[in-house]
Amino acid sequence: MAKLTQLADNEVFRAYATYAAIVLLKMMLLSLITVYYRMTRKAVGNPEDTASFGKGDDAKKYLRTDADVERVRRNHLNDLENIVPFVGIGLLYALSGPELSTALLHFRIFTGARILHTFAYLIPLPQPSRGFSWAVGYAMTISMAFKVLKTVLLL
Amino acid sequence: MAKLTQLADNEVFRAYATYAAIVLLKMMLLSLITVYYRMTRKAVGNPEDTASFGKGDDAKKYLRTDADVERVRRNHLNDLENIVPFVGIGLLYALSGPELSTALLHFRIFTGARILHTFAYLIPLPQPSRGFSWAVGYAMTISMAFKVLKTVLLL
Amino acid sequence: MAKLTQLADNEVFRAYATYAAIVLLKMMLLSLITVYYRMTRKAVGNPEDTASFGKGDDAKKYLRTDADVERVRRNHLNDLENIVPFVGIGLLYALSGPELSTALLHFRIFTGARILHTFAYLIPLPQPSRGFSWAVGYAMTISMAFKVLKTVLLL
The whole-number average pLDDT for the span A19-38 is 96
Distance CA B24, CA A149 (A): 26
Cα B47 from Cα B60, distance rounded (Å): 7
Partner-chain contact A124 C21, CB within 8 Å? no
Q: How far is CA C25 from the centre of its chain?
A: 8
Return the pLDDT at A4.
56
Given a cut of 90, whether residue A28 has pLDDT beyond it is yes
Using a pLDDT cut of 70, give the percent of chain B over it: 96
- Cβ–Cβ of B7/A4 closer than 8 Å? yes
- Enumerate neighbours of B (3 or more CB pairs within 8 A): A, C
Tell me the C-alpha distance between B114 and B116, whole Å. 5
CA distance A51 to C106: 47
SS3 content of chain C, % helix, strand, coil (to 5): 80, 0, 20
For residue B104, is pLDDT > 90? yes
Interacting residues of B109 by C-beta distance below 8 A, sequence separation 6+: B136, B137, B140
Mutate to test the interface with B, among C14, C148, C150 (most CBs of B within 10 A): C148
ipTM at complex level: 0.92
- Cβ contacts of A28 within 8 Å, gap of 6 or more: B81, B82, B85, B138, B141, B142
DSSP bridge partners of B63? B44
Residues in Cβ contact with C52 at an 8 Å cutoff, skipping those fewer than 6 apart = A127, C39
Question: What is the distance between the alpha carbons of residues A75 and B81, in angstroms, rounded to a whole number?
Answer: 12
Pick from B85, B98, B99, B92: which is nearest to B142 by CA? B85
Residue A32 to chain B, least CA–CA distance (Å): 10
What phi, psi does B63 have (nearest 5°)? -80, 85
- Subunits close to A (at least 3 CB pairs below 8 A): B, C
Closest CA to B88 of B16, B150, B27: B16
> Do the beta carbons of residue C110 and residue C19 sit within 8 Å?
yes
Contact A13 C4 (CB under 8 A): yes
Lowest mean pLDDT among A149-153, B2-6, B54-58: B2-6
Q: What is the model's pLDDT at position C60?
A: 82
Residues facing residue C44 across a β-bridge:
C63
* Inter-CA distances, C67 with A73, A103, B56, C38, C73, Å: 20, 40, 19, 11, 10
- For the segment C26-71, what is each residue's pLDDT rounded down to a tens digit? 999 999 999 999 999 999 999 988 888 877 777 788 988 999 999 9
What would the pLDDT profile of B23-60 be if each residue is shown by its tens digit?
Answer: 999 999 999 999 999 999 999 999 988 888 877 777 78
Quick one: average pLDDT of B12-16? 95
Q: What was the pLDDT predicted at C17? A: 96
Asked if A13 lies within 8 A of B152 by C-beta distance, the reply is yes
The strand pairing partners of C63, in sequence order, are C44
Q: How far is it, in rounded angstroms, from Cα C111 to Cα C15?
A: 12
pLDDT one-digit tens code per residue, B60-96: 889 889 999 999 999 999 999 999 999 999 999 999 9
pLDDT at C154: 85
Question: What angle (nearest 5°) sits at the alpha carbon of residue B27, between those of residues A32 and A81?
Answer: 60
- To test the contact with chain A by mutation, choose from B12, B27, B79, B81 the residue with the greatest count of A C-beta atoms within 10 A, namely B81
Percent of chain A exceeding pLDDT 90 equals: 77
B155 vs A91: which has the higher pLDDT: A91
For residue A44, report the phi and psi dihedrals to the nearest 5 degrees: -115, 170
Of residues C9 and C94, which shows the higher confidence score? C94
Confidence of residue B6 (pLDDT cuts 50, 70, 90): low
CA distance B94 to chain C (A): 12
Evaluate the CA torsion angle A43, A46, A52, A57 in order and state its sign: positive
Question: For C93-108, what is each residue's pLDDT tens digit?
Answer: 999 999 999 999 999 9
What does the pLDDT read at residue B1? 35
| Contact between A149 and C52 using a beta-carbon 8 Å cutoff | no
Q: With the C-alpha atoms ordered A53, A54, A56, A61, is the resulting torsion angle positive or negative?
A: negative
Give the confidence band of C3 by pLDDT, cuts at 50, 70, 90: low
DSSP state of B46: S
